[in-house]
Amino acid sequence: MSAASAREATPKLRFTAVAKEFVAPRTGKRTLAVTDVGLSIEAGEFVCVVGPSGCGKSTIMNLVAGLDAPTSGTITMDGRPIAGPGADRGVMFQDYALYPWLTVSQNIGFGLENGTPGRGLSRAERDARVRHFVELVRLKGAEDKFPHQLSGGMCQRVALARLLANGPDVLLMDEPLGALDAQTRLILQVELLRIWGETAPRAERKTAIFITHDIEEAVFLADRVVVMGTGPGRIRAILPIDLPRPREEGTRADPRFAALTKQVWELIRDDAYQAIG
* Positions in the binding site for another protein (CB under 8 A): 65-67, 85-87, 89-91, 93, 95, 97, 99-103, 110-111, 114-117, 146-148, 166
Q: How far is the CB of 215 from another protein (least distance, A)?
A: 26
Q: How far is the CB of 85 from another protein (least distance, A)?
A: 4
The type of residue at 246 is P
- Indicate the SS3 state at residue 33: strand
Name beta bridge partners: 13.
41, 77
Nearer to another protein, 149 or 274 (CB): 149
Separation between Cα atoms, residue 89 and residue 238, nearest integer Å: 22
Nearer to another protein, 19 or 108 (CB): 108
Nearer to another protein, 16 or 94 (CB): 94
Q: How far is the CB of 229 from another protein (least distance, A)?
A: 27
The DSSP element (H or E) to which 161 belongs, if any, is helix 152-165
Q: How far is the CB of 169 from another protein (least distance, A)?
A: 13
Q: How far is the CB of 126 from another protein (least distance, A)?
A: 13
The type of residue at 184 is T
Nearer to another protein, 91 or 130 (CB): 91
Nearer to another protein, 93 or 265 (CB): 93
Separation between Cα atoms, residue 225 and residue 239, nearest integer Å: 5
Nearer to another protein, 58 or 261 (CB): 58
Cβ-based neighbour number of residue 274 at 10 Å: 13
Separation between Cα atoms, residue 176 and residue 234, nearest integer Å: 22
Q: How far is the CB of 141 from another protein (least distance, A)?
A: 17
φ, ψ for residue 209, nearest 5 deg = -115, 120
Separation between Cα atoms, residue 145 and residue 90, nearest integer Å: 23
